[in-house]
């Protein structure tokens, strides 16, 4: 029978014993306590070295009992897709380096609420805020927060992406290849049992940028760019093929993949017969056949920026006015775009 191994928790008392100080002294040093407390530098160093040697990790819940701060940051909102997951991962890294622990609850993808957890937290990272009313609880509680890829109210910050800049690059790329009939696609099938939610702000931002930039370049949007109720096959038949479009910009990677699948069903080859550009650059974009030319969103930079902005708010003794950071997007050219086909007269 295999021997059962037990992992012994390193306590503050063991740190104090190794450092040769009272447990109360070790506690004050580890918690950075300075009010009415002084300790010689060499004593402080002994405590810190003992903690490092023993790999001591303070329990954030115990520390929060008597502290003004819990050192806990909540994640509120739904963060299921690759862009938001990547941003959150980087935000967590920054916050942990700043001495914060990130917590969340199980999130329902069909629920748009951004409620705080039932336990006390110092701040929040908000995901996918689509309406200002979703921020009511955060604002009413004067909770420091940063919104990633969504809206922010007067009490928080926002880190977003420059959708106009991304669309500008996508259209420039296709026009330089020789395309003049360039469609736009946002496929919005109704999922059975799904709770109706407002569209993400990027939906309208990308559509309006497509329309404005094309017309600025002397071209017209392809009819059907403002219809969101088609399925992929119907869209390809009624919009791409009937208008003799030679290229399409898809709202995201998933939309692009569904369009390519529908085009294959109709005997249309990508990129020989139809060029396709996507947005987001999630993992499927690289693994697709052909690999997708796409507009990449700087998710990791967004997460890092959000984490740093939230730490600023948590450290500040004075109110900080709402701030918005908008990050540029990047065109990544792969194999789903080429020069346009020539239609028979």
Rounded CA gap, 163 and 161, in Å?
A: 6
pLDDT (0 to 100) of residue 3: 43
Q: Supply angle C-alpha 80, 84, 88, rounded to 5.
A: 110
Please tell me what DSSP assigns to residue 252.
S
* Number of Cβ within a 10 Å radius of residue 331: 17
Name the residue among 102, 77, 104 with its Cα closest to residue 90.
Answer: 102
Give the pLDDT confidence of 156-209 residue by residue, as tens digits.
999 999 999 999 999 999 999 999 999 999 988 654 444 456 788 999 999 999
pLDDT at site 152 = 96
Residue 271: is the preceding peptide bond cis (ω within 30°)? yes
Q: Tell me: cis bond preceding 176? Omega within 30 of 0 counts.
A: no
Q: Are 245 and 274 in contact (CB under 8 A)?
A: yes
In the chain, the domains with their CATH numbers are 12-54 (no CATH), 72-160+299-327 (3.40.50.2300), 163-297 (3.40.50.2300)
Query: In angstroms, rounded to a whole number, what is the distance separating the alpha carbons of residues 75 and 69?
Result: 17
Residues present in the chain in total: 345
Q: Which of 47-51, 104-108, 265-269 has the lowest mean pLDDT?
A: 104-108
Q: Are 296 and 303 in contact (CB under 8 A)?
A: no
Q: Is the pLDDT of residue 229 over 50?
A: yes
Kindly tell me if the per-residue pLDDT of 69 is higher than 50: yes
Mean pLDDT across 325-339:
97
Alpha helix locations (H) across the chain? 12-19, 23-30, 41-54, 60-66, 82-97, 136-140, 163-177, 201-216, 232-235, 253-265, 283-287, 299-315
With a pLDDT cut of 70, the percent of the chain lying above it is 85
Banded pLDDT at 227 (limits 50, 70, 90): confident
Average pLDDT, the chain: 87
CA distance 117 to 94: 21
Could you tell me the pLDDT band of residue 67, with boundaries at 50, 70 and 90? low
Per-residue confidence at 37, pLDDT binned at 50, 70, 90?
A: low
Of the pLDDT bands very low, low, confident and very high (cuts 50, 70, 90), residue 40 is confident
pLDDT at residue 54 tops 80:
yes
pLDDT at 343: 52
Q: In the structure encoding, which two tokens stand for residue 206, read together?
A: 């990308």
Alpha-carbon separation of residue 118 from 104, 105, 137, 185 (angstroms): 11, 10, 12, 41
Does 1 score more than 90 pLDDT? no
What angle do helix axes 41-54 and 12-19 make, rounded to 10 degrees?
Answer: 130
Residue 330: is it exposed, middle or buried by C-beta count within 10 angstroms (0-12/13-18/19+)? middle
Contacts of 67 (CB under 8 A, 6+ apart): 31
Could you give the strand order of the β-sheet that contains 182-185, starting from the edge strand earlier in sequence? 182-185, 247-250, 275-280, 293-296, 330-332
């Amino acid at each position: 029978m295999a021997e059962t191994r037990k992992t012994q928790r390193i306590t503050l008392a063991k740190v104090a014993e190794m450092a040769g100080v009272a447990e109360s002294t070790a506690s004050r040093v580890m918690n950075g306590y300075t009010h009415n407390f002084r300790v010689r530098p060499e004593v402080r160093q002994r405590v810190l070295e003992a903690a490092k040697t023993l790999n001591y990790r303070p329990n954030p819940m115990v520390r929060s009992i008597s502290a003004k701060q819990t050192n806990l940051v909540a994640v509120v909102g739904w963060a299921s897709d690759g862009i938001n997951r990547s941003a959150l991962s980087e935000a967590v890294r920054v916050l942990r380096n700043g001495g914060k622990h990130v917590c969340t609850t199980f999130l329902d993808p069909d629920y748009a609420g951004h409620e705080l957890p039932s336990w006390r937290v110092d701040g929040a990272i908000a995901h996918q805020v689509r309406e200002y009313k979703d921020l009511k609880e955060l604002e009413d509680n004067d909770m420091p927060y940063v919104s990633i890829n969504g809206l922010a109210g007067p009490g928080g910050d926002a880190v977003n992406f420059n959708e106009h800049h991304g669309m500008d690059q996508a259209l420039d790329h296709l026009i330089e290849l020789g395309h003049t009939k360039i469609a736009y696609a946002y496929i919005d099938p109704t999922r059975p049992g799904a709770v109706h939610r407002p569209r993400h702000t990027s939906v309208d931002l990308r559509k309006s940028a497509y329309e404005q930039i094309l017309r600025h370049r002397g071209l017209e949007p392809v009819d059907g760019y403002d219809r969101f109720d088609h399925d992929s096959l119907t869209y390809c038949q009624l919009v791409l093929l009937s208008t003799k479009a030679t290229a399409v910009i898809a709202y995201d990677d998933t939309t692009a993949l569904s369009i390519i699948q529908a085009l294959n069903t109709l005997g249309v080859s990508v990129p020989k017969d139809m060029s396709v550009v996507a947005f987001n650059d999630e993992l499927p974009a690289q693994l697709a056949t052909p690999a997708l030319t796409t507009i990449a969103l700087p998710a990791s930079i967004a997460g890092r920026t959000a984490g740093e902005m939230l730490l600023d708010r948590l450290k500040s003794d004075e109110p900080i006015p709402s701030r918005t950071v908008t990050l540029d997007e990047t065109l990544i050219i792969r194999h789903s775009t080429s020069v346009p086909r020539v239609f028979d007269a």
